[in-house]
With several copies, the nearest count.
Chain A
Amino acid sequence: MKILYFAWLRTKAGCAEEDVTPPAEVTTVAALMDWLAEQRPGFAEAMTAKGVIRAAVNQAYAEPTDPVRPGDEVAFFPPVTGG
């Protein structure tokens, strides 16, 4: 599974992109976030620190209850500020 971090979440996570293999019971966005927070203290801090983290699975916005599968591209980022 490929994980991407953007904006200040990237700084907090300490990397822009990583390949991970979470345990089989990690089947939702929410479970993946919890598991990543265990691996990366900076990500854990970001999750509680500031606003709400947005997620995208395979480049489409995803809710915490949406499924994640091996091979997915999952991105985490703060609320967007373009335009």
Chain B
Amino acid sequence: MIRVQAEPFDLGAELAGLTAGRTDIGGLASFVGLVREFAREPGGEPAVSAMTLEHYPGMTERQLAAIEAQAIERFQLQASLIIHRYGRMLPGEPIVLVAAAAAHRAPALDACAFLIDWLKTKAPFWKQEETAAGRRWVDAKPEDDTAAARWLPPAR
């Protein structure tokens, strides 16, 4: 299941919903990304006072659905969930949730990492940070491409 929404989400309720009434799930892995007050580079940029996420309505849903479908097939998931927020958020607020449930722990953990790595480089979202010095668009990080690339089949 995927959801794109402006509102915050209730992590506990979302995760509970994935396993409720089921007895075939052995492991549930999840990842939540949150707005950090401090800048990404130590000693560098001013503190972030808010973050606004822009997205591409329509394409976002398609991309998230495609990412989830790949994870379900690749890791044989029994349940999965992606929630991604857009709009303005304050430090400490959750931005994104990915969760994966499987019979065993390894595929659940791997799928969780796959979902967030893949989403980071494929889902059409753009972050704009607010600091005391003004607003700035966040640059894409090369290490995100590296993280996503480890899920590709080895080159021949």
How far is it, in angstroms, between the C-alpha of A51 and the C-alpha of B145 when the chains are bound? Answer: 14
Could you list which residues of chain B lie within 8 angstroms of chain A, going by C-beta atoms? 33, 53-56, 58-59, 62, 84, 95-96, 105, 116, 119-128, 137-141, 144
Contact across chains for A6 and B56 when beta carbons are under 8 A apart: yes
Q: Does A79 contact B (CB under 8 A)?
A: yes
Contact across chains for A80 and B125 when beta carbons are under 8 A apart: yes
Could you list which residues of chain A lie within 8 angstroms of chain B, going by C-beta atoms? 4, 6-8, 51, 56, 59-61, 75, 77-83
Would A81 and B62 be within 8 Å (CB), given that A56-B124, A59-B56, A75-B56 are in contact? no
**Smallest CB separation, B68 vs chain A (Å):** 14
Starting from the known contacts A59-B62, A60-B62, 13 additional A-B residue pairs (CB-CB under 8 Å) come to: A7-B54, A7-B128, A56-B59, A56-B124, A59-B56, A75-B56, A80-B121, A80-B122, A80-B123, A81-B137, A81-B140, A82-B127, A83-B105
- A-B CB contacts (within 8 Å), total count: 73
Contact across chains for A80 and B58 when beta carbons are under 8 A apart: no
Contact across chains for B33 and A77 when beta carbons are under 8 A apart: no
For residue B140, which residues in chain A have a CB less than 8 angstroms away from its CB?
A: 51, 78-81
22 contacts between A and B (CB under 8 A): A6-B124, A8-B137, A56-B59, A59-B56, A61-B122, A75-B124, A77-B56, A78-B126, A79-B140, A80-B121, A80-B122, A80-B125, A81-B125, A81-B137, A81-B140, A82-B119, A82-B120, A82-B127, A83-B33, A83-B95, A83-B105, A83-B125
8 Å CB contact of A83 from B54, B62, B120, B128: B120
Contact across chains for A82 and B56 when beta carbons are under 8 A apart: no
**Smallest CB separation, A13 vs chain B (Å):** 14
Question: Which residue of chain A has its CB nearest to the CB of B142?
Answer: A79
**Smallest CB separation, B86 vs chain A (Å):** 9
Contact across chains for A59 and B125 when beta carbons are under 8 A apart: no
8 Å CB contact of A4 from B33, B56, B122, B123: B56
Question: Which residue of chain A has its CB nearest to the CB of B27?
Answer: A83
